[in-house]
Chains A and B, each alone.
Chain A
């Protein structure tokens, strides 16, 4: 029953994502820098997909395209079958830096989305709820400079969640945190995702993080990024970090990234 109820919730909350033959390049001075080369994959509603690849391979660029911050040079992007034409609060990004607005209190930072969409009044209760969810209710009136790195990233997460996104886009959101905070927040992410049921796209270059969190891991090549492998991670949550199957997957992925010699 519970599993069914969860599935139903998933079906309504998460959106499907189609990335079809996406190519992209930048012009740096007069040279053309290719970053994405015919990348295709699909994410089912409510799926947690990790994008793994070497640093600077173009993963973050892909996220910007999915977020609608830039149009792709070629190919098409669809959310629930509808072409992505620009940014939309149904696809919210959490960046590597929390990028909180320093002049706003924690609560006002979280309220940014509802305020920008013109629905601040209706969302008041939801804002408090999300603040409680990330454990920062007592810091609602604090200013960003008073927060630690982990707390700031939690505010950034709350700022995204308050919009009830259908696709949550995570661009190495835990990359700059200390390892303990990072492990804690990984577990928190899993339970948030399980509860809300949004589709999640996570860019990371931490193989263990990808395996701990995702249903699927997509491995990218060096720039220009191409999909090198698409590996399902069929393990129930909560996962155990020392799981031998995950260790085997890790060995396989590190091999794809050309690091097998060290393991």
Chain B
């Protein structure tokens, strides 16, 4: 059958031969069996939620049940549409097994908390409690997200720029290295959080102190890796550029920096991880806003549903930031990929 082999080729192009998911074998059928199973598992969530009354007093059980039903319906429709959806269909097909597992997990969670009450409260709230947080505490949670994002972006950007400039300077100039190197060695390995008490009385506001700490946590790995990147540029690159009439400034901008770029991105990645840790700690200790503060506040009131809800948002933000960084890297470093050879 020519159509089936064509669609198989398309599937391979899409995800690569190494990551074939179990669902892909079935996605070529007009109706995806895995999609139907996913639909069923989310319908199961609805069924469990509506089967009997809650053990505790939860206000959003019905919303939760119908929400799951909407997911089930959507999965069902997409499964019927199958191959006609093209790329979106492939995207969905690749993720259906996860959708099934998520549905089963949610149903189980619902069962052992709200329906059977096997897990102790307030530590283990049911899923509808988290939904309640998202729906009813939207304002406060949203404001916290905004505060965190603002703080993170400001601190990270400052740290990345300072790290980049310092790294290039000490990688390029021997005398800059002489002065900066010992300082870097003395301050760098110290966890940025150790500066917390000092930073909070040295800086006029807890916000500026946090910016300083996040920038510090970011700048160290960015500096070290930019420096090692610049230092490892082959001298033949400089020879070539010099014989073509390059000035030192040209050598830095057009040879050293692009050649060091792969190292720099490792530094930016490490800096991102370190800065998340500092952000949360800073918000818990001093800043009166942000997700870290929200977590602290929720714990103080034993509002564990709020805590879990905030943790999920935080995790999505962090992984989103890393995904974004990787996307930028893949774009800028596309020249590294050695695929086609003539």
Partner of A99 from B236, B254, B335, B341 at Cβ < 8 Å: B236
Asked if B2 is at the interface (CB within 8 A of a chain A CB), the reply is: no
Once the chains bind, are B241 and A112 in contact (CB under 8 Å)? yes
Interface residues of B in 298-342 (CB under 8 A from A): 333, 335-338, 340-342
CB-based contact A88/B255 at 8 Å: no
Shortest distance between the CB of B230 and any CB in chain A (Å): 14
A-B contact count (CB 8 A): 79
Q: Which of B36-44, B177-185, B194-202, B242-250 interfaces with chain A?
A: B242-250
Which B residue's beta carbon lies closest to that of A96? B236
Choose from A87, A104, A147 the contact partner of B242 (Cβ within 8 Å): A87
Contact residues in A for B242 (Cβ distance below 8 Å): 69, 87
Q: Which residues of A contact B (CB under 8 A)?
A: 64, 67-69, 87-89, 91-93, 95, 97, 99, 101-104, 112-113, 115-117, 139, 142-148, 151, 159, 163
Residues of A within 8 A of B333 (CB): 103
**By the criterion CB–CB under 8 Å, are B338 and A145 in contact?**
yes
Closest 6 CB pairs of A and B: A113-B244, A116-B246, A89-B245, A117-B245, A145-B338, A87-B242
Which of B239, B240, B335, B342 is the one whose CB lies under 8 Å from A148?
Answer: B342
26 A-B residue pairs with Cβ-Cβ distance under 8 Å, sorted by A, are A88-B243, A89-B244, A92-B244, A93-B239, A95-B236, A97-B236, A99-B236, A99-B239, A99-B240, A101-B237, A101-B258, A101-B259, A102-B335, A103-B258, A104-B335, A112-B240, A112-B246, A116-B241, A116-B250, A117-B244, A145-B336, A146-B338, A146-B340, A148-B341, A151-B342, A159-B244
Interface presence of B261 (CB below 8 A) = yes
Complex: A36 Cα to B335 Cα, angstroms: 40
Structural contact, A143 and B335, CB atoms closer than 8 A = yes
Q: Which residues of A contact B254 (CB under 8 A)?
A: 115-116
Binding site for A on B (CB under 8 A): 234, 236-237, 239-247, 250, 254-255, 258-259, 261, 333, 335-338, 340-342
The answer to whether A113 touches B342, judged by C-beta atoms less than 8 angstroms apart, is: no
A116 and B245 CA atoms in complex are apart in Å by 6
Q: Please tell me if the beta carbons of A145 and B244 are within 8 angstroms of each other in the complex.
A: no
Q: Are B335 and A67 in contact (CB-based, < 8 A)?
A: no
